[in-house]
């Protein structure tokens, strides 16, 4: 397995873990804008797509690049939503790292 694939799997699992924890623990505890429909759904979407993208890369699926492309889009949107809230920079960083890694996979520079 290539280094880049390995890095991207780890970035997806890290981002999954961060978004899942924020959606299930941090955001409901803080309340207010943190539980507004668009933000909370985006956190859940991002957790889901990161977990699925990690799975297809672990499987060494010939379709992982297409899925990484979708994953990068969701991570970018989720990072933006986290940045706007002010106290979610760590989650935003996990999303941005995952987006960058998935964008490289989607661009076909790795396998």
CB of 79 vs a copy of itself, minimal distance in Å: 14
CB of 12 vs a copy of itself, minimal distance in Å: 11
What HEC string does the chain produce? CCHHHHHHHHHHHHHHHHHHHHHHHHHHHHCHHHHCHHHHHHHHHHHHHHHHHHHHHHCCCCCHHHHHHHHHHHHHHHHHHHHHHCCCHHHHHHHHHHHHHHHHHHCCCCC
Positions in the binding site for a copy of itself (CB under 8 A): 9, 13, 17, 20-21, 23-25, 28-29, 31, 35-37, 40-41, 44-45, 48-49, 51-52, 54-56, 58-61, 63, 66-67, 69-70, 73-74, 77
């Amino acid at each position: 397995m290539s280094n880049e694939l390995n890095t991207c799997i780890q970035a997806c699992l890290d981002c999954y873990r961060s978004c899942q924890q924020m959606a299930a623990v941090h955001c409901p505890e803080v309340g207010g804008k943190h539980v507004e429909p668009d933000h909370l759904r985006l956190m859940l979407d991002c957790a889901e797509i990161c977990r699925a993208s990690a799975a297809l890369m672990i499987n060494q699926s010939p379709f992982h690049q297409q899925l990484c492309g979708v994953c990068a889009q969701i991570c970018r949107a989720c990072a933006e939503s986290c940045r706007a809230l002010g106290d979610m920079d760590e989650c935003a960083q996990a999303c941005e790292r995952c987006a960058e890694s998935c964008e490289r996979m989607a661009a076909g520079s790795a396998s």
